[in-house]
Structure 1
Amino acid sequence: SDLLNILTGYLIFILLAVVHLSVLFFLSAQAHERTLQIERDTHVFNGTQYKMLYVPLMRVSIETTIHSFIADVNITWSFYNAANVSIEAVYCFPVEERAAVYSFVARINDREVTAHLKEKNEAQHEYGEALRQGHGAYLLELDEQSIDNLVINVGAIPPLTECTITILYVTELERIDGSTVKLAIPTTIAPRYNSKKHRITSPAGTTSKYVQQSPYTMKFCGHIKKKTETGERFISKVSSTSHPIEVDLFQQDAYVVTFSQENIHLDRDILIDIELIKKQINNLLVTERGTVMAVLATTGEDCPGTRNNSPINEFIFVLDCSDSMSGHSKIELAKQTIMLFLKSLPIGSYFNIIRFGSNYTTLFPETVAMYAEVNILQAKHLIVKMQADLGGAELRGPLQWLTERPPGQGHSRQIILLTDGEISDVLEVLNLCQSIGSSSRIYPFGFGSSPSRALIKGLARVTDGQYAFIPPNTKIDIRVKQQLFQILQKSLSNVQVRWNLSVGNAHITPIQSLTVYANGHFLVYGLINDTSLKFNLNSSVQLYTECDCYPSCEAKVDRIVNISENRSIAEVAAKIIILKLEYSKKTIMGTLQRRLLREKFLNIETNKAISELSLKHNILSSQTAFFGEEKRATGKNIDMVLCEVPIQIPKYDLFLTQAPSSRIGMGTDEKIKYSVYNSCAERKIFGHWALSLFFAVLSL
């Protein structure tokens, strides 16, 4: 009897175990299937509920050190795979246009993998091969169409494993006026309109989704050096227009800046304003091994060779009225900007207003009209009625129209572009504007929390104009006065730099030509062939135009700073050379005519030159990529799942959930909102394991 009861108990135990193991494997398969479907969940809202999306990115940490108008930036992303299969994480992240990325490191399972810069096709091939062979692979690329977008590829993160990715880059500070510089660290990529597909597309050819809220947050810590090497105080005030910050004033060597709140999302760029002590803003020479940088302030007395622009000015306002301009009163700020300009234009000027979105319209049928009262009233009437209701941002249309209609004889044309910069074909637009630069200058205003900095800065650079960013809560009248002041200032175009050292016979190679405005500020760089060279206060920077035998402008050096322990200036200088080549590319049309194939050949040669410079200076470019491999003895990536991290849209870009598909190519049933995939299937599996154990004990 006792033996029979024992046998019966064991039989019941076995049956229960089989049943619950079957349930376990079924749920495990469900979880696996669900995980595999993550990448196919493109229609996330089905009318009644939101689907789940697994987000492997947990947090972002940003640190920076600022010295001599250069910022060293360290960004670390922490990924965690909570799924039951290996994942390949892909994340798109923005950088400054002139940011020189020089390091890419992965850390996983107490191992550190330092990536090496390679030609892009080679790096992509090795990345795929490493994953195919079951190893870990890490790839960092730059988007070729918009060179302010990075793509981070983290291959085969095993289940229940954390992986951190760190990049290092250096970038210039922006000069706002004579006494203020700004650190800008982009943190999110605004949804960008693709003019070829006539809808918003994911950045860099990925299928990453845009979301209104994401689970990952960021921390920030900035160190701003207080004094120069000679012990002089350099900074008078530190503030931020983008985030609430705390500034530790009591550190000996630097001001330490941190966020004053927790759980800060990546929904707007980090902007830190640094006010300089007045006596420190004159001509500064900064040297390091092999490179020199001059921070110069020019006056009309310094530049007697500068000349006034033509007394007859054309002002053409190109206003972005696409749907994306509706967020956080961007369209209202743009309208205020035009109104302020119209009150201040010089007598005898000509003007026009072009609105653009999916199409474009002009206020006056002719290219420009006289700046007269009747025309001003007509313009104001139009401005009052304007809304952000013209669909997608087709910027090339109005720019092409202006290219085909050059300014009148003896006229100087100034194009005032007002946009949030949310377009994807940045390099194509810049290429189109290369031809405008010979007769016109573009003065772009970038509105919003995260405009394309490559577009706004690039348009100003290729046409010898000046840019201005207008983040939320900006006093627009101050920026308009600054831009109008620059437009009407004396200037020199296509200026070449010569260095008057007054010591030795060393040669310094200038790396850029530039436009110089009297009463302006600018940075110039040079490469030194003699690294032992010592500068003194008799040195100066001379500026020549192509037809001048004598210098048109000379700026004498007031202070010299040596930062020989770093390479940051050299890296920025190398990036400037690379950018110059990037902007020299030509758009290849779909023609079969042999006579037009020369541009294709020139682009191949340009890409080759970009790749060589990039590899020589170890600076990421559109033609290179960082690749690192982590060898795994028993690794298998057969069941690996692609997991593209969603991108949080800028804080005030709410138009995505409101616009019909006829406007931006995104239907109202595709609202951009996700719930975080929280491994609930795995928790169910754990519950059934516990239930099986309970019944087994009960059976015994």
Structure 2
Amino acid sequence: MVNCCGLVTDKNEPVPLKSVEVEVKVQAHVATVSSTLLYVNGEERPLEAVFVFPLPGECALCHFSAKLGDTELVAKLQDKQTAREEYDDALSSGHQAFLLEESDQSPDVFQLNVGSLPPGESAAITLVYISELAMQADDALRFCLPAVLNPRYTPQDMDSSKMATVTSVPAGVVPYTLALSAHLSSPQPVSKVESNCPLEPLEYLNPDKTEAKVSLCSGHMFDRDVELLLYYQDAHKPTAIVEAGQDSAEPGSLMRDPVVMLSCYPEFPAAVTSSLASCGEFIFVVDRSGSMDCSMHSGKDAQMRIDSAKDTLLLLLKSLPMGCYFNIYGFGSHFEHFFPKSVEYNQKTMDDALGKVKGMRADMGGTEILQPLEHIYSQPCIPNHPRQLFIFTDGEVGNTKHVLDLVKLNVNSHRCFSFGIGEGASTALITGLAKEGSGHAQFITGTDRMQPKVMQSLRYALQPAVRDISVEWNLPDRVSVTTLSPPLKVLFHGQRALLYAQLKGESTGNPEGSVTIQYSLLEETVKNQLSFCLKPTGDTGVSLHRLGARALIRSLEMEERAGGPEAKALREKLLQLSLQSGVSCTHTAFIAIHKASGQTVQGPLLHRTVPTPRMFLRGMGPPVAMCCSAPMPPMARMACMPAVPSNSMARSMAVCYDACLEVKECCDDLDDEFSSDGVQEPESLTDPLLQLISLQKASGSWDMDSSVANVLGKTDDQLANMMPKGVDKAVWATLLALLWLYGFQLEARDEWQFVAMKAASWIQAQKVGCVPQCVQAGNALLGCQVQQETLGL
């Protein structure tokens, strides 16, 4: 079922959130983010404002405060149910109250309740979280401030009352602004900063360029995720950073002891990156829910998400090595697969799959990924063909934690590569799939093309990976170590790992310690020994402690969801760790109460839901925004009637019935659009590159026919007249295709690299003796100057 629908327009509901100010402090691989949200009640009655918003999936939320005039309230972290009860009691007594809690189902969704804000008054809400920066393939560190939160689809068997209601408007009519500034500090010099949003010039704060600051240009509307790409020198250098504990914390606790963070980012030599496997079972799992019929971005001529996924499948199917196995799944409210089980890759199976890819539509309802994954894991693995999952989704999944639990349970039977499509894809889902599946995650946002990122991950899947990773500690007597992070099993080219550990005990002598990180890469063993001081001087903060606590909290939460006799003890341990570290978890919430001279509330407060931006479906636009990721069935529309709230979270589930009637007509149109009846034939490929690739055989060769000639911009006679004597037509056509790729499509090499490698291997297998003459004739025909060595021949 769809978990919510809602409508916010300028005509009927003023938005009390006026602005968002964000300060980011980056220290090497870690960002501390302070967000201040300014609320103003411009109405004549007290109101309650509810804001459901995204944060990075693996962040540690550690501070929440509210400023009312000159009064500042610092929220306390406590048991979630107790916090909810205190919040409701405070509102009933006429007090102002503030509640911040994490969603039970997805760790990247939070709900903020600003309760009983008097008429004409304002409140500045500040929340602080700490997050790791993800490493990109070009050695950049990626900071992302999520703005877009697409409502999540609730599976039929899940209690929708546990889902936070998301109210949203089309990105571009968001009624509040964003100001963001970032202070960067790193042991290595900062080379540059790039962004998907306009930035003020980068300003260096010291001569060696290890400190800098940057900010968004003024007047930025918070209508998209804000991405900063930070480039440091010597990015591959491993580090060990120690953070001192807090003297005020309980002896023996995590916050009292020092914590060390290890950074491991292996550099792969060219001999390794050029080595590719020729076996494997490749399973492509494609989201076909209704929201995949949304555009990739809001710019002109943006492609639909489902169409981009289909183009990507074409590339993948043409790039697979002969003799491997593959299958393709589509999922929505139900799922289907192209073949009953994975089939061997050859010309026939490739043609069969491509025919079915052409007919794929975003016509399968909601976003339920759990069942297709269960079906895949129930299939026996193929000996000597490692299973590799490629999952494509816009991330509008409600039961994120259950999905990740399933992937982790089956981690020993596969690797998982995940791709978040479009603005608002769940970071918890996309990064969690890759983390629990020992794979790699990619996000396709803004005007990014999906194909180069997916082909990059295919290269990772075919390349050797770092394995047999071990961490050995050399510490003084009476000092021991407790690992906070889960064991590290595998690292791919372009992947970095951060590991956290707690140092226990006191050393009376040597204040130094060291750690050795060892791993295998192909036949070589690599060792990195790092030394560190056990007692760093000065105020080192507690960021690493809280990230370490967050890593341990996530592991314990997963154990608790598995059930069993230890579940109750795990809950108590989680609660204690969360309260001790100040990092929220599923069992805790932040609450602040201002006991002003309020009077008991007579009747309900005005309820105002603050919208988040979302990418809206094709055919829809302002002023209506529909908050569902699939066509809304009639029963779901009836379910949008207002309900009597029983607590703060349930109160946020109330939605506007008139709004549902307003969007009903749009929903009916979308039902028709997403129906599988009367599906129109897909448009033919218009991209010359994809046209050429679509004509390639599974073996890597091309036939010499009119279709190939058209793509090359020549006639059949021109191809035939320039062909050297005695050369096979397929060899000539394949060599011409290679020359055209290198001569005219070099900027897109990331997309066709495997196609070209297969073609070169096929030509070499034909043992052609006149390749130099063919290259010379082909260059003359096409008007390019590509050397034979460039082609890999």
TM-score of the two chains, using structure 1 as the length reference = 0.78
Instruction: Give the C-alpha shift of residue 74 in structure 1.
Output: 0.5
Matches within 5 A, 1:197-208: 205-208=163-166
Q: Partner residue of 1:569?
A: 544
CA contact (8 A) 2:183 2:214 kept: yes
Q: 1:43–1:111: structure 2 CA closer, same or farther, 3 Å change rule? A: closer
Conserved? CA contact 2:22–2:179, under 8 Å:
yes
Distance in structure 2 (CA, Å) of the matches to 1:105 and 1:654: 40
- Report the CA distance shift for 1:76/1:197 in structure 2 as closer, same or farther (over 3 A): farther
| CA distance, structure 1, for counterparts of residue 512 and residue 662 of structure 2 | 64
Instruction: Choose the corresponding residue for 1:76, options 15, 31, 36.
Output: 36
Q: Choose which of 236, 246, 250 in structure 1 pairs with 2:200.
A: 246
**Residue equivalent to 1:210:** 168
Which of 344, 355, 375 does residue 381 from structure 1 map onto?
355
**Alpha-carbon separation, structure 2, partners of 1:196 and 1:115:** 36
Aligned counterpart in structure 1 of residue 214 of structure 2, from 243, 247, 257: 257
Structure 2 distance, partners of 1:330, 1:557, is 45
Q: Does 1:632 align with 2:596?
A: yes
Kept in 2: contact 1:468–1:479 (CA 8 A): yes
Alignment correspondent of 1:270: 226
CA deviation string 1:7-27 (max 9, x = no partner):
xxxxxxxxxxxxxxxxxxxxx
CA distance 1:391–1:280, change in 2 (3 Å): closer
Q: What SS does the corresponding residue of 1:96 show, helix, strand or coil?
A: coil
The equivalent residue for 1:647 is: 611
- Structure 1 position 268, deviation (Å): 2.3
User: What amino acid maps onto 1:360 in structure 2?
Assistant: F
CA distance in 2, matches of 1:179, 1:661: 43
Work out whether residues 367 and 405 of structure 1, in 8 Å CA contact, stay in contact via their aligned partners in 2.
yes
Q: 1:76 to 1:386 in 2, by over 3 A?
A: same
Q: Distance in 2 between matches of 1:113 and 1:311?
A: 61
Q: Give how far 1:535 is off.
A: 7.7
Give the direction of change, closer, same or farther, for the CA distance of 1:601–1:270 in structure 2 (3 Å limit). Answer: farther
In 1, the alpha carbon distance for the partners of 2:135 and 2:7 equals 43
Distance between the aligned counterparts of 1:257 and 1:620, measured in 2? 29
The superposition leaves residues 201-234 of structure 1 with CA deviations (integer Å, 9 ceiling, x where unpaired) of 79x6344532223322222111222x52xxxx52
Quote the Cα distance in structure 2 between the aligned partners of 1:404 and 1:348. Answer: 23
Whole-angstrom CA distance in 1 between matches of 2:506 and 2:182:
31
Deviation of 1:115 after TM superposition, in Å, equals 0.7
**Is 1:491–1:515's contact at 8 Å kept on the other side of the alignment?**
no
Query: AA paired with 1:510?
Result: T
With a CA cutoff of 8 Å and minimum separation of 6, indicate the structure with the bigger relative contact order: 1
- The equivalent position to 1:284 in structure 2, one of 239, 252, 256, is 239
Where do residues 99-178 of structure 1 align in structure 2 (5 Å cutoff)?
99-177=59-137
Partner of 1:295: 263
In structure 1, the gaps of 5 or more residues are 1-40, 546-550, 588-598, 674-700
Deviation at 1:650, TM superposition (A): 2.2
Q: Counterparts of 2:57 and 2:511 in 1: how far apart (Å)? A: 30
**Residue 353 of structure 1: SS of its match in structure 2?**
strand
Kindly indicate whether residue 191 of structure 2 is the aligned counterpart of residue 236 of structure 1. Answer: yes
CA distance in 2, matches of 1:655, 1:428: 33
- Change over 3 Å in CA distance of 1:218–1:313 after alignment to 2: same
Q: Deviations over 1:270-290 (max 9, x none)?
A: 11111222x343112222111
Indicate the residue corresponding to 1:325 in structure 2. 292
Q: Distance in 2 between matches of 1:87 and 1:398?
A: 44
Partner in structure 2 of residue 64 of structure 1:
24
Q: Secondary structure at the match of 1:164?
A: strand
- Alignment-derived partner of residue 688 in structure 1: none
The residue that corresponds to 1:671 in the other structure is: 663
- The normalised TM-score by structure 2 is 0.69
Distance 1:50 1:75 in 2: 25
Distance 1:531-1:193 versus aligned 2 partners, 3 A rule? farther
TM alignment of 1:343-362, pairs within 5 A: 343-362=318-337
Distance 2:41 2:123 in 1: 9
Shift of 1:126: 1.7
Q: 1:315 to 1:664 in 2, by over 3 A?
A: farther
Q: Deviations over 1:68-108 (max 9, x none)?
A: 10001001111111121111221111111111111100111
Q: Is the 8 A contact 1:426 1:454 kept in 2?
A: yes
Q: Pick which of 406-415 and 95-104 moved more.
A: 406-415
> 1-side partners of 2:556 and 2:32: how far apart?
24
Give the aligned length: 600
Please, what is the CA RMSD of the aligned residues? 3.5
Distance 1:281 1:309, change over 3 A: closer
2:517 is matched with which residue: 530, 541, 546?
541
Residue 671 (structure 2) aligns with: none
Give, in whole Å, the separation in 1 of the partners of 2:192 and 2:264.
21
Q: Per the alignment, do residues 661 and 342 of structure 1 end up closer, same or farther by CA in structure 2, a change over 3 Å counting? A: same
Q: Deviation of residue 449 (structure 1)?
A: 1.1
Q: Which residue of 2 aligns with 1:372?
A: 346
Q: Cα distance, 1:114 vs. partner?
A: 0.5
Contact 1:312/1:410 (8 A) holds in 2: yes
Aligned counterpart, 1:695: none
Contact 2:473 2:514 survives alignment (8 Å): no
Secondary structure at 1:474 match in 2: coil
Percent identity, aligned pairs only?
A: 28
- Is contact 1:60–1:78 with CA below 8 Å preserved after alignment? yes
Candidates 558, 561, 564, aligned match of 1:586? 561
